[in-house]
Amino acid sequence: MKILVVDDDLELLSLIAFALRQAGYLVVEASEGASALAAFASEQPDLVVLDYNLPRMNGLEVLKRMRAEGSRVPIMMLTVRSDEEDQVEALDHGADDYLTKPFSPRTLLARVRALLRRAGVEKPAPVVCGDLSIDAENRSVTVREGPAVPLTKLEFRLLRMLIAHAGRTVPVERLTSHVWGYRGTGDRQLLKQLVHRLRQKIERDPAAPRYLVTVSGIGYVLRASEEEEG
């Protein structure tokens, strides 16, 4: 499942994203209203965690615009405000929950799970991308009609990120940030090793990969099928 997190406090944004990734969610980050709306349209998240106090376009306006498109995606508002009037205003304009800062990661995750249960999307269905299918519940990948192959946590995070951006090159920095998380230990060499291990599991010939392809000097791209051109 994919969660869009929007907060102009970059330290808090990274911490929230890390907690969600550790819990197994795919996270898209934005730090202001315009980029949040663009990500909302392009990424089609399953849930939004939205800060109330954003620069230029505040969170309430972002919320209104998201709901104006008819979306029913669950939206949780985050804010330092504790006034009942602010909470009521957010809920009246389509927010599904309201969490006041500071909060613990455990509380955030519990509220996220509750919202996803209410939306009926707590347990994700297998994600199919061309020849590949990944099963989040069993943490495995199936290639064409082959058997399910178990993945490690890091392999699963990497493959899920690439599938979410299939056909597009994902930069090394974004991949390491997603796989190893906030202030993690990931670097280019570790990523190369992880890609090598993943290729052993999904490629017919790992030495000549057709799915997980290196884009020199930039990052990696996942092709949906062996026949797809670069």
Whole-number average pLDDT of the chain? 88
pLDDT of the residue at 136: 78
Q: How many CA atoms lie less than 13 Å away from 197 in the CB half-sphere?
A: 15
Give me the pLDDT at residue 200, please.
96
Residue 226 binned pLDDT confidence (cut-offs 50, 70, 90): low
Q: Rounded to a whole number, what is the distance in angstroms from the first to the last CA of the chain? A: 27
pLDDT at 172: 93
Of 224, 229, 44, 228, nearest in space to 129 by CA = 224
**Residue 152 one-letter amino acid:** T
70 token code pair: 């008819």
Instruction: Specify the CATH class of 2-119 in words.
Output: alpha beta
Return the sign of the alpha-carbon dihedral for residues 76, 17, 58, 104: positive
Q: Cite the DSSP H helix spans in the chain.
A: 10-22, 33-43, 59-68, 84-92, 105-119, 153-164, 172-180, 188-202
185-210 pLDDT, tens per residue? 568 899 999 999 999 999 999 999 99
Structure confidence at residue 132 (pLDDT)? 92
pLDDT value for 48 = 97
Q: If you search the block for the tokens 């057709």, which residue do you land on?
A: 210
In angstroms, the Cα distances linking 218 to 5, 48, 133, 188, 205 are 25, 29, 25, 11, 23
For CATH 1.10.10.10, the residue range(s) in the chain are: 127-222
Q: Percent of the chain beyond pLDDT 90?
A: 57
DSSP string covering 29-84: EESSHHHHHHHHHHH--SEEEEES--SSS-HHHHHHHHHHTT----EEEEES---H
CATH number for the domain whose boundaries are 127-222? 1.10.10.10
Q: Is the pLDDT of residue 17 over 80?
A: yes
Residue 66: partners with Cβ closer than 8 Å, 6 or more residues away = 37, 40, 48, 73, 75, 94
Q: Outline which parts of the chain fall under CATH 3.40.50.2300.
A: 2-119
Do 97 and 77 touch, CB atoms closer than 8 A?
A: yes
Compute the half-sphere exposure of residue 225: CA atoms within 13 Å on the CB side of its CA.
6
pLDDT digits (tens, 9 = 90+) for 112-169: 999 998 887 656 567 888 999 988 778 899 998 889 999 998 999 899 889 988 999 9
Residue 230 is predicted with a pLDDT of 44
Helix (H) or strand (E) holding 143: strand 140-143
